[in-house]
Amino acid sequence: MLGSHIVEILAQDGYRIKVLLFPGSPANDLSNLPVEYCYGDIRDPELCAEAMRDCQMVLHTAASISTWPTRSKTAWDINLAGTQNLVQAAIHAGIQRFVHIGTASAFGPGDNGQAATEETPFRGNKYQLDYVDSKYAAHQFVLQTARQQGFPAVIVCPTFMIGPNDVSLGTGQIIIAMCTGKLRFLSGGGKNFVYVRDVAQAAVNALKQGRTGEAYIAGHQNLTYRQYFDLVSAIIQAPAPRILMPDRLILIAGMLSSALAKLLRYRPMLNHAQARVSIDKQFYNPAKAIAELGMPQTDIRVAIGAAFDWLRREKYC
């Protein structure tokens, strides 16, 4: 989702663009843009070096975002080793700016009383989720390389992105579930929500703005799930879930669901790691990105509306 918006903004700003796509990845959203394509896997160091030929700047958005299985060698191979390959290739190519798309999960999370900032220590290992752990390891690698070797890297760390072009049906699944009446329960947790287009703009701005060796939380509004579902409900004209599940019951459901999924070899709707995440208030403060990257702050209702319009066009709702 994010990558297509970044490419659109780059094209609008007049950049010459080369896109590295994993073979078989959908690229319909890029079909009308002036883009040079190359295909390959960032787990291949030689391919990374070849892809960067004649490039001056790199925006690294590739990642494995799967949360099942919760422990995954693939997540580490792509998120950490793949990032290491790209960084080494960028160093050898003399890249002038490297913008790494990380995750806000590299910090905190915060809560009702204190939203996390870039200074909040990482606590995501409590989720026992290799997506989070591998992204944090990649984050640390990029920062250390920048600070110790002078590598010109900036890290942009999105929170929970909402918007169109959600081809993997990540954040859009909530809207689809509400449209189809399948979402009836909610937890007491919450997230920081942000329009994907704002994150894309911050990432493009980071090619020329921001300080090397620094990370920036790219977020907007902290909302409990109840508050978010109410916003979605008003926009898509579908009922919001009203049954608040106790934390303990959510955790038990996640554990039982994971155990059954491992036994029967299917992907659960809620695994034990997701259950842990769902009961937390993952709140963040994006002030640094706003000040130093000029990150916009579009109303979350606009983001929800744009996501809903796209899902309807694609016949998901």
**pLDDT score at 41:** 97
262: CATH: 3.40.50.720
**pLDDT score at 27:** 78
Give residue-wise pLDDT tens across range 202-241: 999 999 999 999 999 999 999 999 999 999 999 999 999 9
pLDDT at 119 over 90: yes
**pLDDT score at 28:** 78
pLDDT at 127 over 70: yes
**pLDDT score at 30:** 85
Q: How confident is the model at residue 121 (pLDDT cuts 50, 70, 90)?
A: very high
Task: Supply φ then ψ for residue 107, to 5 degrees.
Answer: -125, 145
Residue pair 6/204 in contact (Cβ under 8 Å)? The answer is: yes
Per-residue pLDDT averaged across 9-31, rounded?
Answer: 90
Structure-model confidence comparison of residues 105 and 317, the more confident one = 105
Per-residue pLDDT averaged across 18-45, rounded?
Answer: 90
Per-residue pLDDT averaged across 160-165, rounded?
Answer: 96
**pLDDT score at 171:** 87
**pLDDT score at 112:** 64
pTM of the model: 0.95
**pLDDT score at 24:** 85
DSSP state of 206: T
Cα–Cα distance between 13 and 33 in angstroms, integer? 12
Cα–Cα distance between 220 and 287 in angstroms, integer? 9
**Chain-wide mean pLDDT for the chain?**
95
Task: Supply φ then ψ for residue 27, to 5 degrees.
Answer: -135, 25
Per-residue pLDDT averaged across 245-273, rounded?
Answer: 95
Give residue-wise pLDDT tens across range 93-115: 999 999 999 999 999 988 667 89
Give residue-wise pLDDT tens across range 174-191: 999 999 999 999 999 999
Structure-model confidence comparison of residues 111 and 300, the more confident one = 300
The DSSP string of 238-263 is -PPP-EEPPHHHHHHHHHHHHHHHHH
> Which range marks the domain in which residue 177 is found?
2-313
In this structure, which long-range contacts are made by residues 85-90, counting pairs with CB atoms below 8 Å and at least 24 apart in sequence?
85/42, 85/43, 85/44, 85/45, 85/48, 86/42, 86/48, 86/58, 86/60, 87/141, 87/142, 87/145, 87/151, 87/153, 88/45, 88/48, 89/45, 89/48, 89/49, 89/51, 89/52, 90/52, 90/58, 90/151
Residue pair 293/202 in contact (Cβ under 8 Å)? The answer is: yes
Cα–Cα distance between 189 and 169 in angstroms, integer? 21
Q: How many structural domains compose the chain?
A: 1
Per-residue pLDDT averaged across 140-167, rounded?
Answer: 97
pLDDT at 80 over 70: yes
- In the chain, the N- to C-terminal Cα span, in Å, equals 18
pLDDT above 90 covers what percent of the chain?
A: 92
